[in-house]
Structure 1
């Protein structure tokens, strides 16, 4: 049977209110001897405070929502990037004494209800469009962090990468290896500024090299393995002159490699490929994928740190956090003879 405050009060020969005050850190009305006595008995009896009771007493649930946009496949952790990001956020929250509530969100209109139902202290948003976040600004009244976002809403703290530099580094690496016919694969028609910024980096590198952007080298691809396979096949069928491709996500890049293979082409001998994210899977395939790496642990730590800052000082103005990226060279890029 669970130990209660009443059990501790009876053994300590003090009132229930005294025990409650001591256990919940309200020590002003108790002597140090009483505090030591109550805490000693609680420890010896193995008392575990009720999270629900402490939530009611402090008006804080110690729960942070992690909301993931659910495009409709019913498995928000199917994407390896999302799974890795959630896995990095959870221990960062735990170190601050908070719990994680993970919820897939097909309809953003459901988010306020989730806040009320769980009495959330704050939330981190993954995979949402800036236009989706905009209507929620000012309506939730709690600290909010948006990952991979460029939203200008002051209620949200943004944590993102230097996406433009990542696109630049990837394309510049291909240029430095002698490639000139370089394709781009990413969700060009999407609203997500992340994709636009990576595309801007691609364009900047080509511009510095004196090369125009050939629109026939641009392939619109959702962030998925299957979309990459389609791009790989289209490269063979429609643009055989392309010698290299920059993909805005590792999943797309790996799909491209498979699509090229089904057409009898070899990476990197026939086509070089560079991805973005540096997921674990990038090292499981053959050839191992050259990619733009991001530090997921640092990204998660930054999101949680900024959320904690806002919890401590709600009126404090907190700047967005932009993390750098770094190209990781592996085996999927071939140097062309000049």
Structure 2
């Protein structure tokens, strides 16, 4: 049978009210009393009831996290960072899969409202006005990760996608490539698709290289989409010597399709990805890519949310650094 708060009070030689104050970090007891209560909790294996505790401090010590694709490697690495910090501060995490088009977002926001979460982290997708208004109605803080915010009271953590894509293309140019193609995620995606296209195109213009629209394909940020885009590109444009894929899954798709078509990477075709997922190290050959610090971004999102819960004030947004990780899929010409 599990221990109760009364058992803890009896073993520590204090009142139930004192145990409650210690567990909820309220004042009114000595350090010695705190030590005895904590020792009794440990010895008895007492687990405070989250609902009952929430009635005292008006918190459930839970965080809601919304991802467009929970199963993706991208989301997984961010989530690990979020959970690492959340658990350190004794918060539980509720993860919601909103689907790629966000059609389940409003439904999950209602679920999180019913669960009385203390705050929300929203990843990757566009924060639509209706989502913002729903969170405002809940009266809880909101932090964005791998996306941007149009509201001053909603901080975000992300890389500069335009500059990162520019740097990826410039790296290929520095290695002697001139016929460079791109497989992106679609220009209708204002968060990652459009700025990465813009960065790629600007790098080509700045280095005096022609921009051929048939060298730009949409892979939808998926392995399957990347395979289709790579097939179209490599069969129609044999002059291409390098490909920038705006996501590692698409980059690995390019390597796979190239192998099937008898095109050697990196001897005949250079490939650079984007994200630096664990998959990048496991590809054959290992993938050169632009690294986003996804785990650290998740940690920062969690830290900012907990800071906002503690202070009641918005935290500052941050643009985090990216870098090119050189492996074995780009060879100097």
With normalisation by structure 1, the TM-score equals 0.89
CA shift for structure 1 position 8: 3.8
Find the partner of 2:183 among 182, 185, 189.
Answer: 185
Find the partner of 2:316 among 315, 319, 329.
Answer: 319
What do the CA deviations read for 1:53-106 (whole angstroms, capped 9, x no partner)? 212211111111111125xxxxx21x1111222122211211222111112124
CA distance in 2, matches of 1:31, 1:298: 38
**Hey, what does 1:254 align to over in structure 2?**
252
Shift of the 14–259 alpha-carbon distance from structure 1 to 2, 3 Å rule, reads: closer
Find the partner of 1:283 among 266, 281, 284.
Answer: 281
CA distance in 1, matches of 2:303, 2:279: 28
CA contact (8 A) 1:228 1:259 kept: no
CA shift for structure 1 position 160: 0.6
Find the partner of 1:123 among 110, 120, 123.
Answer: 120
**Hey, what does 1:273 align to over in structure 2?**
271
Find the partner of 1:113 among 110, 114, 129.
Answer: 110
CA shift for structure 1 position 235: 2.1
CA contact (8 A) 1:229 1:260 kept: no
Shift of the 145–39 alpha-carbon distance from structure 1 to 2, 3 Å rule, reads: closer
**Hey, what does 2:90 align to over in structure 1?**
97
CA distance in 2, matches of 1:125, 1:318: 15
CA distance in 2, matches of 1:39, 1:96: 17
CA shift for structure 1 position 128: 1.8
Residue 62 in structure 1 maps to residue 61 in structure 2: yes
Residue 20 in structure 1 maps to residue 20 in structure 2: yes
CA contact (8 A) 1:232 1:259 kept: yes
What do the CA deviations read for 1:197-240 (whole angstroms, capped 9, x no partner)? 22222122112211232111110110111111112211232111
Shift of the 178–124 alpha-carbon distance from structure 1 to 2, 3 Å rule, reads: same
CA contact (8 A) 2:182 2:243 kept: yes
Shift of the 84–42 alpha-carbon distance from structure 1 to 2, 3 Å rule, reads: closer
What do the CA deviations read for 1:126-153 (whole angstroms, capped 9, x no partner)? 2322437455453332111112212312
- Which SS does the other structure have where 2:128 is aligned? helix
CA distance in 2, matches of 1:34, 1:326: 51
**Hey, what does 1:73 align to over in structure 2?**
none
- Which SS does the other structure have where 2:137 is aligned? coil
**Hey, what does 1:84 align to over in structure 2?**
77
Shift of the 183–22 alpha-carbon distance from structure 1 to 2, 3 Å rule, reads: closer
Shift of the 332–137 alpha-carbon distance from structure 1 to 2, 3 Å rule, reads: same
**Hey, what does 1:47 align to over in structure 2?**
46
Higher-RCO chain (CA-CA 8 Å, sequence separation at least 6): 2
**Hey, what does 2:325 align to over in structure 1?**
328
Shift of the 212–17 alpha-carbon distance from structure 1 to 2, 3 Å rule, reads: same
CA contact (8 A) 1:122 1:143 kept: yes
CA contact (8 A) 1:166 1:198 kept: yes
CA distance in 2, matches of 1:87, 1:151: 23
CA shift for structure 1 position 270: 1.8
Moved more, 114-123 or 47-56: 47-56
CA distance in 2, matches of 1:39, 1:153: 42
**Hey, what does 1:146 align to over in structure 2?**
144
CA distance in 2, matches of 1:141, 1:82: 26
Residue 198 in structure 1 maps to residue 210 in structure 2: no
CA contact (8 A) 1:144 1:156 kept: yes
CA contact (8 A) 1:90 1:100 kept: yes
CA shift for structure 1 position 13: 6.1
Shift of the 212–56 alpha-carbon distance from structure 1 to 2, 3 Å rule, reads: same
Return 5+ residue gaps in structure 1 as ranges: 71-75
CA distance in 2, matches of 1:13, 1:177: 73
**Hey, what does 2:5 align to over in structure 1?**
5
CA distance in 2, matches of 1:258, 1:34: 64
* Aligned residue-pair number: 328
